[in-house]
Structure 1
């Protein structure tokens, strides 16, 4: 599978709630992050949105964490987000997931919405195991290889839920849930 990122010139297309929430709701991301918190209203200290792009889902995470790191490899996506308006507790980080600038165990959780196919590699999975606090949730939703390819990247650039599960288990993650859905898959795991 080749390295693929979303065309930054089309970033405005990522700001359509009627399309984005059709595939992944804010609740599906936030629920697993807060599941380990002392109460449903407890804020997390530090969470990363991997492949944050225009900040569409980052904005949903912001009210639930002290700091949210919007991680994206494309500086153009951060520029779009800055023009849109970045919440005060969001820090934008230009980085590849395989080389994150965080200390060991620094993150209380991480999410990836429709970007796993962009960074899926043993190096990225190992890096996530390093930067997530033991037991911290990792929530991944992406376009599924089982989908028809009408939406999202071409089928040859996609993974199945089982591929993500295998990669995560290889690094010691505990799988909480894994499911194939219409066009997408979802995996929730806990860091080793």
Structure 2
């Protein structure tokens, strides 16, 4: 279903480390993803690359995937690490071979793209045992930050979308504004 994409004229907000790390710190993201030199991962809904940059030095190949070319333009302006390849695509039509990725990461963007077709596509590009790591705004959260809650998923809805696509959800938890899921492809 997906609800909306982030407005590109507000892209500078995506680089506000103090604000972004309130909801998912670099350390938490590393603990969730477990990047390593041999890992190939895609950050789906990468925007200006804020979280992509946190993972790139610690992974082998990193794809910053965004449907908005203007977000990639902003990323280029700031500087794209050599290990990162920009990919303009939606989550429902990823240009990767089946089983090509070890992990797909979505930080505060799952609500923008998630529907059964997109989750099936994410499962297609992950290798067996590959992981989908999601941190996103919780529909049942306090609502003090992030998009309107009507444009987000609850943790239960996110878990259902993931399990329906063939993932085994290993971690699912809520926080005051967000939720976290780590799902493995069987």
Superposition deviation, residue 150 in structure 1: 2.2
Separation (CA, whole Å) in 2 of partners of 1:44 and 1:145: 35
- Please, what TM-score do these two structures have when normalized by structure 2? 0.96
User: What residue number does 1:20 align with?
Assistant: 20
TM-score by length of 1: 0.93
Equivalent residues of 2:172, 2:182 under 8 A apart: yes
Q: Does 1:84 align with 2:78?
A: yes
Shift of 1:2: 5.9
Contact 2:2–2:115 (8 Å) recurs in 1: no
Offset of residue 21 of structure 1: 0.4
Q: Distance in 2 between matches of 1:117 and 1:97?
A: 11
- Structure 2: where are the runs of 5+ without partners? none
Distance 2:2 2:184 in 1: 27
The answer on whether the counterparts of 1:29 and 1:111 sit within 8 Å (CA) in structure 2 is no
Show structure 1 runs of 5+ residues with no match: none
Aligned mates of 1:136, 1:27 — CA distance in 2: 20
CA distance in 2 between counterparts of 1:8 and 1:178 reads 30
1:91-116 deviation line (CA, Å, top 9, x unaligned): 00000001000000000111100000
**RMSD between aligned residues:** 1.3
Task: Give the match for residue 147 of structure 1.
Answer: 141
Match of 1:53 in 2: 47
2:92 pairs with 1:128: no
* Cα shift at 1:31: 1.8
Among 68, 77, 96, which residue is 2:90 paired with? 96
> Is the deviation greater in 150-159 or in 1-10?
1-10
User: Are residues 1:113 and 2:114 paired?
Assistant: no
Could you say which residue in structure 1 is the equivalent of 2:161? 167
CA contact (8 A) 1:62 1:90 kept: yes
